[in-house]
């Protein structure tokens, strides 16, 4: 437990750094495909696939052995003539949705994808409602409650005083 | 002995915090000046005792006192002195101690400099601040005590995690924490206002400098963390949309919104209720960030084990303060009076637009970060939400925001004419068109989206300067007149302009580095050459060297451009004996705002070495932009209006000032 606790560190980038604490780097020279078009597609796909043993890293960034296996697998499928979406389908069938860093739209992720739009729409609706209420005639007066008798008396007194001396100060 | 003094000081600080959280609040309720006056000295004493505890722990590190568990686990006698200091907060317990140190510092600052605050407000603010402090002192003492001893002191420590042995650890966490914790002041002010049931423009004037200072530090803290990750992690990325990064981005987004809504409140007495809510939310998000990082909720599924009592404790703090704050808000906010009216097309309107989109962006990050967790709890289904999702959803929310950035300062208060303002931004529009055309020409029709990004950056930069140019008559009047006029402008106007300009600079850096960065991954033998863009790097050989607490292998490269040597690059691999672990040190070569980035991979069987070489065009602008934002904030903070605080009657006739 103690030894593990050590690894607790203070801050964002650092916790992230830990994930790569044995860092060398991800894509190795021997993995690269001779065909540059296929290779760039492989890199593009790698950025959308999660290294499942790492902490939120794509297989493009990770140097874990599993990430390497996945990178090689992606390249194998591409060389075999798969399209990008076929590769993603293949990996999702094998490893589940967890492998995709950009989850597919479905019932389970509908809220996730809708969130930005919903929040924005709610905000706009709230603002429009506020403006409507405000622009209703007589609203400004209704908002301020009338003075109580005591307040009215005090006001008269203050105004009277002000008239006598230098006038109300700013 | 020193560790025990530190421990004892922390207990005393807790006792003081308990007194400070109750007595002044009662005093404020009964309007009893004596009880309220307790808050000031206790706040100062709290800071002194937490400071003493912090010094005690630091002393343990500097003297390598391995009988203290925390020092044993995170230090090594051969570590350079600077890392002995920084490793104080390079671990869970010490970082929490830094957290409360900054918390008590802010409390002490309010006590010392809040002399012109109404006495009840000051008492309430300090009481609320002390509730937070007491909760965290208790957390440290119960679950994360850094002063525990070992029965038998070992001869040598286990060393600090090698990745943390970097100057970044000296800069990034303190700045980030000042930002996080600084928002506690806005929170305390908001809660105090709700308790009193009274809030006015003067309140916003007191809150704004604190929020601004916290925002500045958070901005720089996040940026420095990003730069640290960029050079330390060895693959040249600067933002990963990692949950822990998101945890710091959320308070930043909410804090930025708060900063802008507080302006409306101060100037126009409007948006009060919303500003209070934002102040509560911003600090709640800071607390949540602490919870997410500390409890291990987001990471426990994977590599890291965590202590469940800590998670539960922080969760309790979280529920108490966020739940309590929001409940108080729901109860008291309707009683606050609504303020000044304004038309939708006005500066207030522009700032509301800013708040709307910043809040939506913040909500997007929030949902994206916590959705996988919620889904797994509810349905047992595991999904990942990573960079591709955030890039796709965050950018569309930020583009409209950036389009409105230059518009805001040009809009008049109350009621404005959009058409007139758009006409004034003609220059910025033309600059954007030129930037787009220029980019497309240079990159021979490269990615259109990126060209539009460059255009947007140019628009934000030129647009931010438009207000300044118009108010001083720059380019229209003689330079000397313009300069005289510039001197007459309030510093906060300069601050706004500079901070917005910095935003454009950062955007330009992000677009350029992300779009036109190139890389090469190759295996090299000594004597071989690799070329990228116009640079040729030749691998001269490997050299071994002994560092203070590590051994390193340096690969020497000389860099040529057009046949001339322009520099050397020496990426290295370090192996740390104490922890049996290694790090890669990337080498950077800066050319203007662009960088060459070289990092080492594994050696091959045939004596070759794998290297990864990047060219990152204009990448430094990302961080230079945030630095400019920081400076803008600082200028605004030094504005006379904020320094003076609330309006006060002039003390003498000689201090007559021209009307602003």
Q: Is residue B532 within a helix (H) or strand (E), and if so which, with residue range?
A: strand B529-532
What is d(CA B49, CA B8) in angstroms, rounded to the nearest whole number?
9
Q: Which of B366, B387, B402 is the last residue of a domain?
A: B402
- How would you classify residue B260: left for phi > 0, otherwise alpha for psi between -120 and 50, otherwise beta? alpha
Residue range of the domain that includes B4: 1-165
Residue of B218, B224, B228, B235 to mutate, testing the A interface (most A Cβ within 10 Å of its Cβ): B235
- Domain assignment present for A109: no
Q: Under 8 Å CB-to-CB from B569, ≥6 apart: which residues?
A: B537, B557, B558, B559, B587, B588, B589, B596, B598
Would the CB atoms of A15 and B379 count as touching at under 8 Å?
no
Same domain, A32 and A68: yes
pLDDT in tens, A9-66: 333 334 333 333 334 457 888 888 888 889 989 999 999 999 888 777 888 888 788 8
Predicted ipTM of the assembly: 0.84
- Domain assignment present for B660: no
CB atoms within 10 A of CB B478: 9
- Domain assignment present for A106: no
Distances (CA, A) of B119 to B199, B207, B276, B651: 14, 15, 20, 21
Q: Which of A99, A131, A153 is the last residue of a domain?
A: A99
Which residues of chain B does A2 touch, with a Cβ-Cβ cutoff of 8 Å?
A: 69, 73
Question: Do residues B513 and B622 touch, judged by C-beta distance below 8 A?
Answer: yes
Same domain, A30 and A81: yes
Question: Do residues B499 and B486 touch, judged by C-beta distance below 8 A?
Answer: no
Question: Do residues B211 and B135 touch, judged by C-beta distance below 8 A?
Answer: no
What is d(CA A56, CA A13) in angstroms, rounded to the nearest whole number?
13
Q: At what angle do helices B308-318 and B119-143 cross, to 10 degrees?
A: 170
Question: Do residues B583 and B553 touch, judged by C-beta distance below 8 A?
Answer: no
- Domain assignment present for A65: yes
- Domain assignment present for A8: yes
Question: Do residues B600 and A29 touch, judged by C-beta distance below 8 A?
Answer: no
Would the CB atoms of A115 and B600 count as touching at under 8 Å?
no
Cross-strand pairs, B557: B539, B569
- Domain assignment present for B648: no
A147 contacts chain B (CB < 8 A) = no
Q: What is the largest CA-CA distance in chain B?
A: 85
Residue B659's pLDDT is what?
Answer: 43
A142 contacts chain B (CB < 8 A) = no
Domain count, chain A: 2
Same domain, A16 and A85: yes
Residue A77's pLDDT is what?
Answer: 93
Query: Chain B neighbours among A 82-141 (CB < 8 Å)?
Result: 96-103, 108-109, 111-113, 115-116, 119-120, 123-124, 127, 131, 134, 140
Q: Which of A99, A128, A149 is the last residue of a domain?
A: A99
Q: How far is B240 from chain A (nearest CA, A)?
A: 8
Same domain, B536 and B552: yes
Same domain, B558 and B453: no
CB contact burial B357-381 (16+ within 10 A = b; e otherwise): bbbbbbbbbbbbbbbbeebeeeeee
Question: Do residues A49 and A67 touch, judged by C-beta distance below 8 A?
Answer: no
Same domain, A25 and A94: yes
Of B304, B344, B371, the CB nearest to A131: B344
First to last CA, chain A: 66
A72 contacts chain B (CB < 8 A) = no
Question: Do residues B242 and A20 touch, judged by C-beta distance below 8 A?
Answer: no
Distances (CA, A) of A114 to A111, A120, B251, B284, B396: 5, 10, 22, 24, 13
| Token pair of B616 as six digits | 């990152």
**Reported pTM:** 0.89
Same domain, A52 and A124: no
A120 has pLDDT over 90? yes
Q: Under 8 Å CB-to-CB from B101, ≥6 apart: which residues?
A: B50, B51, B53, B54
Q: Which of A57, A72, A99 is the last residue of a domain?
A: A99
Q: Helices (DSSP H) in B476-572: which residue ranges?
A: 479-488, 491-516
- Domain assignment present for A155: yes
Which residues of chain B does A95 touch, with a Cβ-Cβ cutoff of 8 Å?
A: none
What is d(CA B572, CA B582) in angstroms, rounded to the nearest whole number?
10
| Token pair of B494 as six digits | 């300069």
What is d(CA B490, CA B268) in angstroms, rounded to the nearest whole number?
18
What is d(CA B331, CA B325) in angstroms, rounded to the nearest whole number?
10
Same domain, A81 and A152: no
Q: Which chain B residue has the Cα nearest residue A131?
A: B344
- Domain assignment present for A111: no
| Token pair of A28 as six digits | 């190795």
- Pairing state of beta strands B581-585 and B594-603? unpaired
pLDDT in tens, B75-94: 999 999 999 999 999 888 89
Residue range of the domain that includes A7: 2-99
Same domain, B528 and B583: yes
Distances (CA, A) of B596 to B513, B520, B566, B567: 11, 11, 12, 11
- Domain assignment present for B410: no
pLDDT in tens, B125-168: 999 999 999 999 999 999 889 999 998 889 899 888 888 888 88
Q: Helices (DSSP H) in A55-147: which residue ranges?
A: 65-79, 84-95, 110-135, 139-143
Of B242, B368, B573, the CB nearest to A16: B242
CB atoms within 10 A of CB A118: 14
Distances (CA, A) of B571 to B269, B556, B610, B615: 56, 7, 12, 15
Residue A25's pLDDT is what?
Answer: 58
What is d(CA B20, CA B135) in angstroms, rounded to the nearest whole number?
13
Domain count, chain B: 4
A14 contacts chain B (CB < 8 A) = yes
Give the mean pLDDT of chain A.
Answer: 75
Q: Which chain A residue has the Cα nearest residue B227?
A: A13
Q: Which residues of chain B have pLDDT under 50?
A: 300-305, 645-660
What is d(CA A95, CA A87) in angstroms, rounded to the nearest whole number?
12
Q: Under 8 Å CB-to-CB from B320, ≥6 apart: which residues?
A: B135
Residue A141's pLDDT is what?
Answer: 43
Same domain, A155 and A91: no
What is d(CA B384, CA A98) in angstroms, rounded to the nearest whole number?
5
DSSP string computed for B129-190: HHHHHHHHHHHHHHH--TTPBPSS--SS-----GGG-STHHHHHHHHHHHHHHHHHHHHHHH
Same domain, B511 and B526: no
What is d(CA B79, CA B426) in angstroms, rounded to the nearest whole number?
58
Counting Cβ atoms within 10 Å, is residue B563 exposed (0-12), middle (13-18) or buried (19+)?
A: exposed
Would the CB atoms of A102 and B389 count as touching at under 8 Å?
yes
- Domain assignment present for B104: yes
Question: Do residues B129 and B103 touch, judged by C-beta distance below 8 A?
Answer: yes
Same domain, A62 and A128: no
Same domain, A51 and A94: yes
Question: Do residues A54 and A16 touch, judged by C-beta distance below 8 A?
Answer: no
Cross-strand pairs, B574: B552, B583
What is d(CA B598, CA B587) in angstroms, rounded to the nearest whole number?
5
A32 contacts chain B (CB < 8 A) = yes
Q: At what angle do helices A110-135 and B347-379 cross, to 10 degrees?
A: 150
Residue B182's pLDDT is what?
Answer: 94
- Domain assignment present for B418: no
| Token pair of B258 as six digits | 């708060």
Of B172, B337, B385, the CB nearest to A112: B385
Residue A166's pLDDT is what?
Answer: 42
Same domain, B244 and B96: no
- How would you classify residue B214: left for phi > 0, otherwise alpha for psi between -120 and 50, otherwise beta? alpha
Same domain, B374 and B267: yes
Question: Do residues B535 and B562 touch, judged by C-beta distance below 8 A?
Answer: no
Same domain, B268 and B311: yes
| Token pair of A117 as six digits | 């739009």
Same domain, B313 and B371: yes
> For residues B230, B235, B241 and B244, what is the CA-based torsion angle, rounded to 10 degrees?
-60
Same domain, B303 and B355: yes
Residue B501's pLDDT is what?
Answer: 96
- Domain assignment present for A15: yes
CATH number at residue A74: 1.10.8.640
Same domain, B248 and B236: yes
- Domain assignment present for B650: no
- Domain assignment present for B92: yes
Same domain, A86 and A147: no
Same domain, B209 and B61: no
Q: Is residue B557 within a helix (H) or strand (E), and if so which, with residue range?
A: strand B551-561
Of A16, A53, A101, the CB nearest to B389: A101
- Domain assignment present for A113: no
- Domain assignment present for B649: no
Same domain, B129 and B181: no
């Amino acid at each position: 437990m103690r030894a593990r606790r050590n690894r607790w560190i203070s801050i964002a980038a650092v916790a992230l750094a830990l994930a790569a604490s044995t860092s060398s780097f991800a894509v190795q020279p021997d993995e690269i495909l001779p065909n540059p078009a296929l290779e760039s597609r492989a890199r593009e796909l790698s950025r959308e696939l999660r290294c499942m043993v790492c902490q939120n890293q794509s297989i493009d960034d990770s140097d874990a052995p599993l990430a390497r296996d996945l990178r090689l697998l992606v390249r194998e499928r591409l060389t075999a003539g798969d399209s990008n979406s076929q590769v993603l389908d293949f990996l999702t069938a094998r490893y589940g949705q967890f492998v995709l860093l950009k989850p597919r739209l479905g019932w389970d992720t509908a809220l996730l994808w809708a969130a930005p739009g919903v929040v924005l729409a709610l905000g706009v609706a709230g603002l429009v409602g506020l403006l409507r209420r405000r622009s209703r005639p007589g609203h400004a007066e209704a908002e301020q409650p009338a003075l109580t008798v005591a307040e009215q008396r005090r006001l008269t007194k203050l105004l009277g005083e002000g008239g006598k001396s230098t006038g109300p100060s700013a | 002995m020193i560790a025990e003094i530190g421990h004892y000081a922390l207990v005393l600080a807790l006792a003081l915090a308990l007194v400070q959280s109750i007595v002044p609040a009662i005093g404020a309720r009964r309007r009893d000046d004596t009880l309220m006056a307790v808050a000031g000295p206790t706040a100062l004493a709290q800071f002194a005792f937490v400071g003493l505890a912090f010094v005690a722990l630091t002393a343990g590190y500097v003297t390598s006192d391995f009988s203290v568990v925390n020092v044993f686990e995170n230090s090594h006698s051969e570590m350079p002195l600077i890392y002995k200091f920084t490793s104080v907060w390079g671990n869970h317990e010490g970082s929490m101690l830094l957290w409360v140190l900054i918390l008590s510092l802010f409390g002490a600052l309010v006590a010392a400099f809040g002399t012109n605050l109404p006495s009840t407000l000051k008492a309430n603010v300090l009481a609320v601040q002390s509730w937070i402090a007491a909760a965290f002192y208790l957390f440290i003492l119960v679950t994360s005590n850094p002063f525990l001893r070992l029965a038998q002191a070992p001869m040598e420590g286990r060393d600090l995690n090698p990745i943390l042995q970097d100057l970044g650890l000296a800069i990034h966490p303190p700045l980030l924490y000042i930002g996080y914790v600084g928002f506690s002041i806005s929170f305390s002010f908001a809660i105090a206002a709700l308790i009193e049931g009274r809030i006015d423009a003067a309140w916003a004037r007191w809150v704004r400098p604190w929020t601004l200072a916290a925002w500045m530090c958070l901005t720089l803290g996040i940026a420095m963390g990003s730069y640290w990750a960029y050079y330390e992690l060895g693959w040249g990325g600067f933002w990963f949309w990692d949950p822990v990064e998101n945890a710091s981005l959320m308070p930043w987004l909410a804090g930025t919104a708060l900063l802008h809504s507080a302006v409306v409140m101060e100037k126009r007495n409007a948006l009060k209720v919303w500003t209070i809510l934002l102040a509560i939310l911003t600090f709640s998000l800071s607390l949540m960030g602490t919870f997410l990082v500390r409890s291990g909720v987001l990471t426990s599924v994977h590599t890291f084990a965590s202590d469940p009592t800590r998670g539960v404790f922080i969760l309790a703090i979280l529920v108490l303060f966020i739940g309590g704050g929001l409940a108080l808000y729901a109860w008291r906010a309707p009683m606050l009076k609504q303020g000044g009216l304004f038309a939708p097309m006005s500066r207030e309107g522009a700032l509301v637009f800013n708040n709307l989109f910043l809040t939506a962006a913040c909500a997007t990050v929030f949902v994206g970060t916590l959705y996988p967790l919620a889904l797994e709890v509810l349905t047992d289904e595991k999904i990942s939400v990573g960079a591709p999702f955030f890039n796709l959803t965050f950018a569309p929310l930020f583009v409209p925001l950036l389009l409105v950035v230059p518009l805001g300062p040009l809009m008049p208060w109350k009621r404005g004419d959009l058409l007139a303002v758009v006409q004034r931004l003609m220059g910025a529009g033309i600059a954007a068109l030129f930037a787009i055309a220029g980019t497309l020409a240079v990159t021979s029709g490269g990615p259109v989206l990126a060209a539009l990004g460059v255009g947007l950056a140019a628009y934000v930069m030129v647009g931010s300067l438009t207000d300044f140019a118009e108010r001083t008559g720059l380019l229209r009047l003689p330079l000397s007149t313009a300069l005289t006029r510039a001197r007459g402008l309030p510093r906060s106007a300069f601050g706004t302009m500079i901070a917005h300009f910095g935003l454009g600079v950062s955007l330009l850096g992000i677009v350029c580095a992300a779009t036109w960065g190139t890389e090469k991954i190759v295996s090299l033998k000594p004597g071989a050459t690799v070329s990228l863009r116009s640079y040729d790097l030749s691998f001269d050989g490997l050299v071994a060297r002994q560092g203070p607490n590590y051994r390193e292998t340096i690969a020497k490269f000389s860099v040529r451009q057009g046949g001339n040597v322009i520099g050397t690059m020496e990426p290295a691999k370090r192996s740390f004996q104490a922890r049996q672990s290694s790090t890669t040190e990337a080498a950077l070569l800066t050319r203007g705002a662009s960088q060459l980035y070289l990092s080492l991979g594994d050696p091959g069987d045939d004596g070759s070495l794998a290297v990864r070489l990047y060219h990152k065009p204009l990448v430094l602008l990302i961080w230079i932009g945030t630095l400019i934002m920081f400076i803008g904030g600082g200028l605004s903070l030094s504005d006379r209006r904020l320094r003076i605080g609330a309006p006060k009657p002039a003390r003498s006739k000689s201090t007559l000032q021209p009307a602003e």
